[in-house]
Structure 1
Amino acid sequence: MITVIGYDGSPLPAEARERLAEAALVVGGARHLAAVPVPDGARRVVLGDVAAALDEIDKAGADARVAVVASGDPGFFGIVRALRERGHRPRVLPALSSAARAFARAGLPWDDALVVSAHGRELRRAVNACRAHPKVAVLTAPGAGPAELARELFPQTPRTFVVCENLGEPDERVVHVRPAEATTRPWRDPNVVLVLDPSRTVGDKRWIAGAPPGPAGWALPEEVFDHRDSMVTKAEVRAFALAKLGPRVGDMVWDVGAGSGSVAVECARFGAAVVAVERDAASCERIRANVRAHGVKVAVSRGEAPAVLEHLPDPDAVFVGGGGPEVVRACASRALRCVVVALAAVERVRPSLDALTAEGFTAQAVQLQANRLSPLPGDVHRLAAANPVFVVWGEREPTPAVSFPDDRAERRPQTIAELPDEDDPRSAQ
């Protein structure tokens, strides 16, 4: 008996008007209730506190006729999810989503765009998505709007903004602006911000919408990276490090003492925002070359750690390829989730463990050594040993143990009904 009506400023279709006319309870934002024809006898609940509004819907009972009016497509970051979580099965009459309308106003395709929400969520994940991806729509909220978004992105991430205010309303406004200007202007709610890399506003033809699938493979061979004197994290170590770092869309990852930038590039291929930190100018140029070769986005920060880390945004995960315990501890003091350290000398393992535990991490270590198959004359092979590497890693919270209920006693063989015989006349029904 619940109907969710999407409203985008356009005249309501006939079915939506009918459901509103017969509703005993109408729930919606103040501006929505003022814009649609709410029947005189219906009780109105302003949708400010979502939980309180849902409580009122629950109290109305299963037989009550309830209409919920929400912006755009209520099934897209909208009230439909909350209703379903309460056990309701609403009928949904959607309008255009704000993201669809915003890209239409900009005249851009958006099957290759990320759509992220900062409404009731931390802004930093939306910012990281904007750092890593060329086309992002941000569903904003008071205190997490165009100005706040621009302050986080400017000047490190060159982007342009399309700020779409009050989409579909008589006072709709669409403004193209640089982030520097967006930090100083007043903005009206509600709004949607398109954050665009001007050089890549039209992406490649896609088969999947939104974030692209992860890379087909990782732990790439060293040969695909430009490096100096084999100073590159070996593929086997990179595979282990990536498993611990867990880079993903919305994350910020630091690669400190990046060398060739191989770890930074691989993390960026998973969709994370990445900063490669390196003190050597020639190595920084080498990192940029590797970034271009792999078609990813990595910011390069030249300087001496730990001092250079002060101006960087807080990371979710950090890979430390060099710098000693002082650098490890400085990274750990900022990391939100994990730190991974690669070491050549066993004497540095204990100081690194101590640096991580001092910052509240649960720390562990392992020695990794690979023996690669190497051909010899006569169509035979030997095992060529690579230098051992010690990997130390720390996590803010240990991964929770997964318990599986012992339901073996309840398992019974299942009988599957046979398909009807082709000659059986029932098979044609």
Structure 2
Amino acid sequence: MSAPVTVVGTGVGAPLPAGVLAGARLVVGGRRHLDAVTLPEGAERIVLGPLAPALDAIAEHLAGGRPVVVLASGDPGFFGIVRVLAERFGPDLLDVRPGVSSVAAAFARAGLPWDDAVVASAHGRDPRTAANLCRAHPKVAVLTGPGAGPAELGAALGDLPRVLVVASALGSGAERVERVTPAEAAAREWGPAVNVVLCLDETRAVGAVRTVAGPARRPAGWALDEAEFAHRDSMITKFEVRALALARLGPRPGDLVWDVGAGSGSVAVECARLGAAVTAVEKSPDGVARIGANAAAHGVAVHVVRGTAPGALAALDDPDAVFVGGGGRDLPAIVAACARRARRSVVVAVAALDRVPAAREALAGAGLECGGVLLQSSRLAPLPGDVTRLAAGNPVFLLWGLRPAAPATIPRGSAGGDTDSEGVTQ
């Protein structure tokens, strides 16, 4: 016995399965889906707009034992309406018949495997998350929407060495697949036909054979030993300090993190290993080179800006979190500049006691909730005669400011499959 709600993904240019509409008393879908089919005699049709009326109509038909068909784009279980229907009616009432997703079709047109791709939806969402994923990962598919298409993505990426593959009207006679730079994408009007944008670092677009699909496996540990990084004269954030700093920064995929006064870039690299996009700011030429070498050694992307804070921060995109590991006499001004722009947190490592009050004042002055500890650790060290001593490290103050949490909001997403340009936000 078939389920009362049949959810059909039309695929990329694929026709509806034969007989799928037979007996349907209600057909729900985007306008272009409904205009492309012949409804059974007497069947009601609802063009998807706001979801609530459509869901209420489906519920009414189900209560009366009348079959319902929902038409969607691509694979309706992939960023699509299956989630909403399953939450409202339960998965046991759904007969889902997926089509080819726009993401799979776009990678096929590009001639690339996508088992190692990161997929993000920018439909009805802040495009910052998608842009940060493109900064951090070599292969990203972005499902687009109004105000979050190729132009906005290209503008956010700026001069990042990426290629954008823009796939429009997939599967139709008007299908178009174009390769452009971020700057070229930003300078164009793309219209509503764009399905998906692939963002590729072509030097890393074809990786090794995978066992598990998705982005690179997350590290099993963090707070790496200092020996894992090239550094100058032990001028590196020690792993004990790094461990707590990472806990307060909370780097994750879709975030942008600044590492200001990055030195060796150990904090920047660790944040990138955890999936965040990272911009490291360093004033010395040898430091810039060292950060690049450390990022390459760990297989992550870190955007390095040579400059002196706070001036060098003005041109950067607003971060989610900031680590300040240097600054000298300019530390209060640097912390204040970071605290004004950070969306979530600022963490400051300070060796000099005299600079702690001013740093705390800068955090509090930007409306952050402040905390801090004095970290003073001793590591086990061998002595002659097969004995062990405690070797004390220099004490470090770790201060942090956290942005007060905003009231929770209901997530928004697409009601179609694949979040194409005709999807409806929840």
Alignment counterpart, residue 260 of structure 1, candidates 257, 264, 267 = 264
Partner of 1:77: 79
Partner of 1:405: none
Partner of 2:125: 121
Partner of 1:343: 350
Query: In terms of Rg, which structure is larger?
Result: 1
Partner of 2:52: 51
Tell me, in whole angstroms, the C-alpha distance in 2 between the residues paired with 1:87 and 1:390.
Answer: 54
Unaligned runs of 5+ in 2: 408-426
Normalised TM-score (structure 1)? 0.90
Q: Larger RCO: Structure 1 or Structure 2 (Cα < 8 Å, ≥ 6 residues apart)?
A: 2
Task: Establish whether residue 304 from structure 1 lines up as the match of residue 308 from structure 2.
Answer: yes
Normalised TM-score (structure 2)? 0.90
Tell me, in whole angstroms, the C-alpha distance in 1 between the residues paired with 2:89 and 2:322.
Answer: 41
Tell me, in whole angstroms, the C-alpha distance in 2 between the residues paired with 1:354 and 1:60.
Answer: 61
Partner of 1:426: none
Query: CA distance change for structure 1 residues 121 and 398 in 2, over 3 Å: closer, same or farther?
Result: closer
Displacement of 1:398 after TM fit? 6.0
SS of structure 2 residue aligned to 1:390:
strand
One-letter code aligned to 1:300: V
Is the CA contact (8 Å cut-off) linking 2:62 and 2:68 kept in structure 1? no
What's the Cα RMSD here?
1.5
Partner of 1:250: 254
Unaligned runs of 5+ in 1: 401-429
Is the CA contact (8 Å cut-off) linking 1:349 and 1:365 kept in structure 2? no
One-letter code aligned to 2:332: P
Is the CA contact (8 Å cut-off) linking 1:72 and 1:98 kept in structure 2? yes
One-letter code aligned to 1:36: V
Equivalenced residues, count? 396
Partner of 2:360: 353
Is the CA contact (8 Å cut-off) linking 2:218 and 2:275 kept in structure 1? yes
Displacement of 1:399 after TM fit? 11
SS of structure 1 residue aligned to 2:363:
helix
One-letter code aligned to 2:242: R
**Structure 1: which 4+ aligned runs deviate by more than 3 Å?**
none
Is the CA contact (8 Å cut-off) linking 2:381 and 2:388 kept in structure 1? yes
Moved more, 227-236 or 45-54: 45-54
Tell me, in whole angstroms, the C-alpha distance in 2 between the residues paired with 1:364 and 1:183.
Answer: 41
Partner of 1:184: 187
Is the CA contact (8 Å cut-off) linking 1:264 and 1:274 kept in structure 2? yes
Tell me, in whole angstroms, the C-alpha distance in 1 between the residues paired with 2:41 and 2:153.
Answer: 42
SS of structure 2 residue aligned to 1:195:
strand
Could you list the per-position Cα deviations for residues 178-221 of structure 1 after superposition, in whole angstroms to 9, with x for gaps in the alignment? Answer: 22221223324242101101111101222211122311221111
Structure-to-structure mapping, 1:4-403, within 5 angstroms: 4-8=7-11, 9-14=13-18, 17-18=19-20, 20-62=21-63, 63-88=65-90, 89-155=93-159, 157-188=160-191, 189-323=193-327, 324-397=331-404
Is the CA contact (8 Å cut-off) linking 1:362 and 1:398 kept in structure 2? no
SS of structure 2 residue aligned to 1:311:
coil
Could you list the per-position Cα deviations for residues 293-352 of structure 1 after superposition, in whole angstroms to 9, with x for gaps in the alignment? Answer: 111100001111111111111101100012211111100101001110000022222221
Is the CA contact (8 Å cut-off) linking 2:249 and 2:345 kept in structure 1? yes
